[in-house]
């Protein structure tokens, strides 16, 4: 049992350090497929990655997603999210679970986005984090606040900004890893009606700058093809999405140069 716990602990620490981010901060497969560019999302999953996008979500939506990091069940991530329109904006709730058994992370959050004008939206969210530890170690918790901004200054141009843990919160247990403070700036340009090119810069205050680039192409209205890449370390991403009436299914994979492949899938209903 002790060797099992030690193995999981080492895997968790290696993965967290390599990715320079908390596991539970991934976006949807639609974002992962484009190099994990998530600040431009306006779907239910924007509650986790840029709550300003909720201000542009006019319908009630529910989604579930699963990711198996590096094809290891012990590093799996499961997320449930919902959003609905309220007070001229959008309100979102989400619950994520990372890991299995005694070691892992849970996050519960509430987010809200609101339009300031036809082209500008702002948003904020509050997260409760719980780090689960084996019986011989104490659990850790934290409450953090995040803020986001979304703008469409031109018909084909999109801008996004997201500051994660803008409250500079930390876990109550000093032995736990610091809660990351991360800033993301994203830009997208719709070259054609069915082709979106986008880029994003990510800066964790403790880690090197990461640069992302991606594209989304609709060969037909119901199918989306996606590809992307990002630096530090260099990763390649691919994805595909299917839309049928109010149902949406998205798949994506990312390849880490050392740790391998991570598949992700999501199912979303828009009522």
Cα gap 149→257, rounded to integer Å: 32
Can you give the pLDDT at residue 175? 64
pLDDT of residue 234: 94
* Residue located via tokens 């967290």: 16
- C-alpha 130/C-alpha 105 separation (Å) is 6
Give me Rg for the CA atoms of the chain.
18
Provide the whole-model pTM: 0.88
Strand-pair partners of 162: 148, 184
pLDDT of residue 136: 74
pLDDT of residue 99: 84
3-state secondary structure of 251: strand
pLDDT for residue 6: 46
From 270, 220, 221, 222, select the one nearest 246 (Cα to Cα): 270
The CA–CA distances, whole Å, from 152 to 123, 211, 260 equal 15, 21, 36
Q: What was the pLDDT predicted at 23?
A: 43
Contact 191, 170 (CB under 8 A): no
CATH 1.10.10.370 fits 2-270, yes or no: no
DSSP tag of 233:
T
| Whole-number Å distance between alpha carbons of 57 and 84 | 8
Task: Identify the burial level of 130 via C-beta atoms within 10 angstroms of its C-beta, where 0-12 means exposed, 13-18 middle and 19 or more buried.
Answer: middle
* Strand partners for 257: none
Q: In the beta sheet, which residues pair with residue 158?
A: 188
Q: Nearest Cα to 200, choosing from 220, 224, 228?
A: 228
Give the per-residue pLDDT at 4: 45
Q: Which residues contact 231 (CB under 8 A, 6 or more apart)?
A: 210, 211, 212
CA geometry: angle 258, 261, 262, nearest 5 deg: 125
What is the residue extent of each domain of the chain? 2-270
Q: Are 28 and 43 in contact (CB under 8 A)?
A: yes
| 23 three-state secondary structure | helix
**pLDDT tens-digit profile, the chain (271 residues):** 444 444 444 454 444 444 434 444 568 999 999 999 999 999 999 999 999 999 987 789 999 999 999 999 888 999 999 999 998 899 999 999 998 777 789 999 999 999 999 899 999 999 999 988 877 778 899 999 999 999 999 999 999 999 999 999 999 987 677 889 999 999 999 999 999 999 999 999 999 999 999 999 999 999 999 999 999 999 999 999 999 999 999 999 999 999 999 999 999 999 9
What pLDDT is stored for residue 238 in this prediction? 97
């Amino acid at each position: 049992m002790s060797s099992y716990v030690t193995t999981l602990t080492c895997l968790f620490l290696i993965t967290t350090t390599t990715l320079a981010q908390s596991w539970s901060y991934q976006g949807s497969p639609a974002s992962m497929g484009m190099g994990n560019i998530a600040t431009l999302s306006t779907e239910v999953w924007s509650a986790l990655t840029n709550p300003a996008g909720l201000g542009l979500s006019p319908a009630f939506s529910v989604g579930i997603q699963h990711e198996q990091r590096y094809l290891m069940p012990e590093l799996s991530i499961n997320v449930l999210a919902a959003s609905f329109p309220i007070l001229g904006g959008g309100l979102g709730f989400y619950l994520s679970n990372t890991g299995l058994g005694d070691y892992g992370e849970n996050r519960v959050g509430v987010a809200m986005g609101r339009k300031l004008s036809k082209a500008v939206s702002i948003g904020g969210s509050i997260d409760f984090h719980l780090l689960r530890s084996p019986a011989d170690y104490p659990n850790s918790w934290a409450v953090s606040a995040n803020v986001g901004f979304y703008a469409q200054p031109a018909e084909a141009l999109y801008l996004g900004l997201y500051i994660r843990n803008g409250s500079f919160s930390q876990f109550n247990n000093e032995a736990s890893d610091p809660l990351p403070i991360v800033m993301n700036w994203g830009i997208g340009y719709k070259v054609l009606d069915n082709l979106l090119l986008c880029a994003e810069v990510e800066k964790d205050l403790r880690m090197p700058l990461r640069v992302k680039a991606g594209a989304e192409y609709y060969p037909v209205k119901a199918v989306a093809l996606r590809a992307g890449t990002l630096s530090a370390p260099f990763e390649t991403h691919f994805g595909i999405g299917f839309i049928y009436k109010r149902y949406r299914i998205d798949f994506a994979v990312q390849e880490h140069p050392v740790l391998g492949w991570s598949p992700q899938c999501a199912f979303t209903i828009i009522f």
